[in-house]
Structure 1
Amino acid sequence: MIAYLRLEVRRTLRDAGFVIFGIGMPVAMYLLFSNLVLDGGGQRPETMVSLMVGMAAYGALGSALSVGTGLAEDRSLGWLRQLRLTPLAPSRVVAARALTGSVIVLPAIVAVLLAGRLVNHVALAPWQWGALLGLLWLGSAPFTLLGLGNGYRLSTQTTGVVNLVCNLG
């Protein structure tokens, strides 16, 4: 199962669309919105932290839900059927996909937090950075499971639309 997990994580992180929209887009939106606030006059530290947390959560949720879209694509291509021919149990395939979702949310969260620290000089205590990372990571877990459920239940096109609606909601 560990080898399958590594395969799925590498496959996801090699996807240029995921890197651009799952990691780059939340960072770009955070920098844009934070610069709009800075240009508007008053730079309040709590505003910078709120923007940073919001965009990190947005990136985490988008990445978590994208696991379901990838699963629906694999299902339509027959990859899941091929996996049934291997000694890997179906429960382990689902568990590996859930773990993949929990791993791939971390780059989006870390990228936005780094942008907040390095670009906008957000100052938090070390334990606050750790708590923030942990809470955002744990908070994305239900959305990973929602994305997986959508991916198993819906077609590829429908999964993408439903996941987008869930993310916007």
Structure 2
Amino acid sequence: MATITLGGNTTHTLGELPKEGTTAPNFQLATKDLQHVSLEDFKGKRVVMNIFPSVDTGVCAASIRHFNKDASDLEDTIVLCISRDLPFAQARFCGAEGLENVVTLSDFKNGSFGKDYGLEIEDGAFAGLHSRVVIVLNEDHKIIYSEQVSEIGQEPNYELALNALN
């Protein structure tokens, strides 16, 4: 269990993030048109997973915008923006913002991604949602970088995450 804060109030996640150097757990997530994708669908690609509570919060929206801007310059890399939002909300947000360099994926059905990655918030106002996390995978889907942001209201360290790809 990890301890994080929301507005300075202590909260906890269900577990710990997978360790750097290990293979990322596979997942099944929903696309904007309710199709299912897994990590295997991105075989041979480097993957940046931008994980957050909801697209409808300012910091989460900022992280999507930031990674969308950076993603256009990344070779053989895909940026996955993952939350428990309904796929329709994710599509609405990206459409309104004109974001085309990231892929939004939803864990709305059963939250298994958040549980398998140990990042689901288990108490407090955001219980059941994902904590703010960035996980970077190499082409073999080994974890080469991870950050669980200690205060949900703060943005991740984009520079460190993207430098892990170099």
TM above 0.5, yes or no, is no
TM-score band, normalised by shorter chain: under 0.3
TM-score (norm 2): 0.25
Q: Which has a greater percent of helix?
A: 1
TM-score (norm 1): 0.25
Greater C-alpha radius of gyration: 1
